[in-house]
Structure 1
Amino acid sequence: MDALVVVEPLKRLRCGECRRGPLERMVLEFNSPRCLDCADLGHLVFLPRGNAALTRRSREASALWAVVVRHNKRRTRYERQGLLVEEAALVRAEASCLADAEVRARRRARDAARRAAEDVRFTGVLTAEILRLFPSCPLDRALEIAAHTSLRGSGRVGRTAAGRALDEGAVTAAVRASVRHLDTPYDALLMRGTPRHEARARVAAAIEAVLDAWRRG
């Protein structure tokens, strides 16, 4: 069955039956405008477009409904503005969508808690691996390196596949990066305009000295 169509007129029109106007919305009958009351649609309420789930559920729950359109002069076509539906149907649809939103919120909370627990577990495992490879590394420093490099969404070594697999090269790269930034003048060299590759070369020996000291148990 074709949907009933209600028009939002661009001109100030009056109802051809009751003469009421100007009309916000109307139905065309025999090329004459009719207000919604005269068209037996006055009991319906307007639901603007924009929420697909709410629109679908309101339409399905409403015994009578109509599509609301407005003419777009620039595009020379009628464009949907929303629906007219029974108020009780809209109320039921809103309650259903609200329940869905609550379910999604609870699911997001559970997922966030699960991810947080996974992150805590992995940070602990990564800390243990750092201390295995570098037994003389201070515990607080190992914890700091593990937390920094495994931060979710950071794109750092700890979030890569190799890092998650505790690949020795990836773990060592994370420790080396920490030493480079915190135990050498590398950052200061960059701030003074030293090219990155030159700055890395100048601090390479200092980094290896710290790593060698941390490797000795």
Structure 2
Amino acid sequence: MAGQGVPAPLVVIVPLKRRHCAECRGGPLPRLVLEFHAPLCLDCADLGHLVYLPRGDAALTRRAREASGLWAVVVRHNRRRTRYERQGILVEEAALARAESACLADAEARARRRARDAERRAAEDVRFRSALAAEILRLFPGCPPERAAGIAAHAGERGSGRVGRTAAGRALDEGAVTAAVRASVRHLDSEYDALLMRGVPRRQARTRVAPVIESVLAAWRR
């Protein structure tokens, strides 16, 4: 979201359904702009001269955007997550060429920086997984140590979006740690996954396996 006083970027949509331009009637459109809820092709929206840069290279994207007098964000709706997700940007061709030249010029320095950052993140992950496993064993002393280490590795995987990577999980909040352990027990020590494969609705499956999960957690707490 744009900050106060900063205009929001232009948004170009990758449609999920076949759409045609409301002005020139061209289509189906690979990308479109919504103007008063009507789809426009990029040419009719005066963006046809821009070139597409897919996401993936943060430095190239930033430099191309900064060098381009006109640019737009390209998004696509993710139905499963019910949100729009960024796919890339549209920028002026000359701006992209300048950005590519700048990235080539300092590619070696950026590669060294990425390597250092990767080493730092790996060390941080090792320390965090160790701390998470220790907290699991403190809360559930009956949990086998190797199982606690596995839960910590799974729940704390960087970029996974799992409970261990939430703010509460990183703070080793008791509720978050318990949620990670409960999830592991649900999948590994109950018939939950088998119930889902048989078509049992998720909530119903959770209700059916709840006694088993609580039994395992109670045994591990002792």
TM range (shorter): 0.5 to 0.7
CA distance in 2, matches of 1:206, 1:213: 11
Q: Secondary structure at the match of 2:106?
A: helix
Q: Could you tell me which residue of structure 2 aligns to residue 60 of structure 1?
A: none
Q: How does 1:1-217 map to 2 (within 5 A)?
A: 98=104, 100-216=106-222
The alpha-carbon distance between structure 1 residues 182 and 100, as it changes in their structure 2 partners (threshold 3 A), is same
CA distance in 2, matches of 1:185, 1:81: 55
Code of the residue aligned with 1:211 in structure 2: it is L
Code of the residue aligned with 1:113 in structure 2: it is E
Q: Secondary structure at the match of 1:152?
A: coil
Code of the residue aligned with 2:199 in structure 1: it is G
Any gaps of 5 or more consecutive residues in structure 1?
Answer: 1-49, 57-79, 83-93
The alpha-carbon distance between structure 1 residues 106 and 213, as it changes in their structure 2 partners (threshold 3 A), is same
RMSD (CA atoms): 2.3
Code of the residue aligned with 2:178 in structure 1: it is T
The alpha-carbon distance between structure 1 residues 203 and 81, as it changes in their structure 2 partners (threshold 3 A), is closer
Any gaps of 5 or more consecutive residues in structure 2?
Answer: 1-52, 54-59, 68-91, 95-100
The alpha-carbon distance between structure 1 residues 187 and 81, as it changes in their structure 2 partners (threshold 3 A), is closer
Instruction: Give 4+ residue runs of structure 1 displaced > 3 Å after superposition.
Output: 50-53, 96-99
Residue correspondences, number: 130
CA distance in 2, matches of 1:97, 1:118: 28
CA distance in 2, matches of 1:156, 1:81: 39
CA distance in 1, matches of 2:191, 2:120: 39
Q: Could you tell me which residue of structure 2 aligns to residue 69 of structure 1?
A: none
CA distance in 2, matches of 1:98, 1:186: 51
Cα distance, 1:155 vs structure 2: 0.2
Q: TM-score, normalised by structure 1?
A: 0.56
Cα distance, 1:81 vs structure 2: 8.1
Superposed CA offset, 1:3-36 (max 9, x none): xxxxxxxxxxxxxxxxxxxxxxxxxxxxxxxxxx
Q: TM-score, normalised by structure 2?
A: 0.55
The alpha-carbon distance between structure 1 residues 81 and 116, as it changes in their structure 2 partners (threshold 3 A), is closer
CA distance in 1, matches of 2:196, 2:106: 52
Of all paired residues, the percent bearing the same amino acid is 75
